């Protein structure tokens, strides 16, 4: 466990804190909620978050990468496809 925790401490991390006004998203979800409930489905905020994060990874692919310390290079992970 100590070995794993020590290795994890060597990995570069970054933190981002943003304050967002999601009133429009809450209103959209509430409007769509009845349609989904009528189909026996529960509409959560997760699909909206996945779409937003996917769009962010398309715009900023470097965020979806790792650093290979032995080779001193950044390895970009799989490409995120954009569906509009």
Task: Write down the pLDDT at residue 19.
Answer: 94
What average pLDDT does range 3-25 have in this prediction? 84
Q: How much is the pLDDT for 24?
A: 96
Closest CA to 58 of 39, 35, 83, 34: 83
Query: Any idea of the CA torsion for 82, 30, 28, 34, to the nearest 10 degrees?
Result: 70
Contact 67, 74 (CB under 8 A): yes
pTM for this model (two decimals): 0.62
What average pLDDT does range 59-73 have in this prediction?
83
Could you give the percent of the chain with pLDDT greater than 90?
A: 32
Q: Stretch 63-83: mean pLDDT, rounded?
A: 77
pLDDT of 84 reads 59
Mean pLDDT across the stretch 43-55? 91
């Amino acid at each position: 466990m100590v070995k794993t925790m020590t290795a994890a401490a060597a990995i570069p991390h970054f933190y981002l804190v943003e304050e967002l006004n999601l009133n429009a998203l809450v209103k959209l979800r509430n409007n769509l909620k009845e349609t989904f409930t009528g189909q026996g489905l529960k509409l959560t905020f997760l699909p909206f978050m996945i779409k937003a994060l996917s769009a962010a990874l398309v715009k900023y692919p470097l965020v979806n990468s790792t650093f290979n310390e032995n080779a001193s290079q950044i390895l970009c992970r799989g490409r995120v496809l954009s569906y509009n």
